[in-house]
């Protein structure tokens, strides 16, 4: 096919002529069309699915914005090496290769060879209540860690990737990204996270509001030089300085590093690289949706000219306050709404059989002509 428009038309014609009433398989038809366009073929296939789980800790956790202590981050990462997490079970069930990547967990994990060490800082990010969560160099390192993992999976034959996270308090930076990138009041973006009560949510909102109020003065100051005083050069795959304009005077790239977590920035790098490689990107819940939102602001269009979000399948809308609003603001619809709030990418993994069904529909169903059935519409 000569263009995305041509393949889109050819796929739609094929879908409409499968031996079923037109449109009768609903979202499966839409998914099949999307995946066929991504892979640029009338016969798409899903190969070697990989689940990347990035782990890191957050300085803002010190402000009591999460019901869980930061030790849970490393304890769960270790638990995943033993196969005991929800993410392990779903990966086994659906045939995903699970990769655990430490990009800033506040614990020495060197005793666990199953964990890929790409630690950006030994104790996680700085506390963004008092300044940027990370330097430009650290931001670049985290982006590259995500991109590298996608390159490795792609080299092994993977063409569909899901991404999860483990980082206590990471709903806090996600809420701020949502508020600043979408121009929404913070109170519409802040929720209970892993289980805060009403008083806990009130405190979390107060802390995050204070951090945002500190942001303009910090933003106006000259940027901190990277380590060693050298200029940080963009990598081959991702650019930190985005052309998509400022948000309240701040570029998305500044919002990325000022408030982000290392595991979140790595996920952004992974998503952008996967789309560049024309891989299907499965987006999980609130935190990964915030990462997809950030990626879409950093690089709205891929080198092919196609929107970044066209490569993403949003798999689950959870109960976190603001998640549905975020998805609606991006103009996307999730496949599932199961009330999940575990994180780890579990919502994306649960959606995989539906996506597999969509591809099988396109490739395995017969059409009216070949099956000698009268086309009745």
| 70-101 tens-digit pLDDT | 999 999 999 999 999 999 999 999 999 999 99
pLDDT at 240: 37
Task: Please tell me the predicted confidence (pLDDT) of residue 231.
Answer: 30
Longest dimension (CA), the chain: 72
Report pLDDT digits (tens) over 49-63.
999 999 999 999 999
Which tokens hold the place of 336?
A: 């599932």
Read off the pLDDT of residues 109-123 as tens digits, 9 standing for 90 and up. 999 999 999 999 999
Residue 243, pLDDT > 70, answer no
> 356 to each of 25, 29, 46, 203, how far by Cα in Å?
14, 12, 7, 43
Task: Quickly state the pLDDT bin for 64 (edges 50, 70, 90).
Answer: very high
Provide the strand spans (E) within the chain. 50-56, 97-104, 115-117, 160-166, 280-283, 312-314
CA distance 73 to 153: 24
Q: Which of 29, 165, 263, 344 is catalytic?
A: 344
Q: 320: Cβ–Cβ under 8 A, 6 or more apart, which residues?
A: 171, 191, 192, 193, 285, 286, 341
Rg of the Cα atoms in the chain? 21
Report which DSSP code applies to 6: H
In this predicted structure, what is the pLDDT of residue 289?
97
pLDDT band at 277 (very low <50, low <70, confident <90, very high): very high
Q: CB–CB of 317/325 below 8 Å?
A: no
**CATH for 49-354, options being 3.40.50.10210, 2.40.50.140, 3.30.420.10, 3.40.50.10130:** 3.40.50.10210
259 token code pair: 């408030």
Domain boundaries, the chain: 49-354
CA 191 and chain centroid, separation: 19
Kindly write down the DSSP assignment for every residue of 169-225, as one continuous string. TTHHHHHHHHHHHHT--GGGT---TTT--HHHHHHHHHHHHHHHHHHHHHHHSPPPP
Beta strands 115-117; 160-166: pairing state:
unpaired
344 a catalytic residue: yes
CA torsion sign for 129, 131, 137, 140 is positive
- Looking at the chain, the whole-number percentage of residues with pLDDT higher than 70 is 88
Mean pLDDT, residues 221-248: 40
Q: Is 104 helix (H, G, I), strand (E, B) or coil?
A: strand
Q: What values do phi and psi take at 299, rounded to 5?
A: -145, 80
Residue 246 has a pLDDT of: 47
How many helices (H) does the chain have, and how many strands (E)? 12, 6
What the block records as the tokens of 303 is 């080198």
């Amino acid at each position: 096919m000569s263009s995305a428009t041509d393949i889109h038309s050819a796929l739609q014609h094929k879908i409409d002529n499968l031996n079923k009433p037109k449109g009768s398989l609903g979202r499966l038809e839409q998914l099949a069309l999307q995946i066929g366009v991504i892979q640029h073929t009338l016969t798409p296939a899903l190969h070697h699915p990989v689940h990347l789980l990035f782990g890191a800790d957050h300085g803002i956790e010190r402000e009591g914005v999460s019901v869980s202590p930061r030790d849970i981050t490393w304890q769960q990462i270790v638990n995943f090496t033993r196969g005991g997490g929800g993410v392990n079970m779903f990966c086994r069930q659906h045939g995903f290769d699970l990769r655990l990547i430490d990009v800033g967990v506040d614990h020495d994990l060197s005793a666990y060879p199953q964990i890929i060490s790409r630690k950006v800082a030994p104790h996680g990010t700085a506390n963004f209540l008092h300044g940027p969560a990370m330097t430009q160099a650290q931001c670049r390192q985290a982006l590259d860690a995500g991109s590298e993992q996608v390159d490795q999976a792609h080299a092994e034959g993977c063409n569909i990737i899901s991404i999860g996270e483990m980082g206590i308090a990471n709903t806090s930076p996600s809420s701020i990204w949502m508020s600043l990138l979408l121009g929404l009041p913070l109170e519409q973006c802040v929720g209970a996270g892993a289980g805060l009560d009403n008083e806990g949510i009130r405190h979390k909102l107060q802390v995050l509001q204070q951090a945002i109020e500190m942001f303009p003065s910090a933003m106006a100051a000259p940027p901190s030089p990277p380590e060693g005083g050298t200029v940080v050069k963009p990598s081959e795959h991702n650019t930190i300085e985005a052309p998509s304009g400022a948000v309240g005077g701040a570029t998305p790239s500044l919002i990325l590093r000022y408030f982000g977590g290392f595991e979140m920035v790595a996920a952004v790098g992974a998503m952008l690289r996967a789309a560049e490689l024309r891989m299907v990107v499965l987006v999980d819940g609130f935190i990964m949706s915030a990462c997809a939102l950030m990626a879409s602001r950093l690089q709205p269009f891929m080198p092919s000219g196609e929107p970044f979000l066209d490569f993403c399948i949003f798999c689950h809308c959870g109960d976190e306050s603001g998640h549905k609003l975020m998805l609606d603001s991006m103009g996307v619809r999730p496949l599932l709404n199961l009330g999940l709030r575990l994180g780890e990418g579990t919502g994306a993994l649960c959606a995989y059989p539906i996506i597999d069904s969509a591809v099988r529909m396109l490739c395995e169903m017969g059409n009216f002509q070949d099956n000698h059935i009268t086309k009745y519409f």
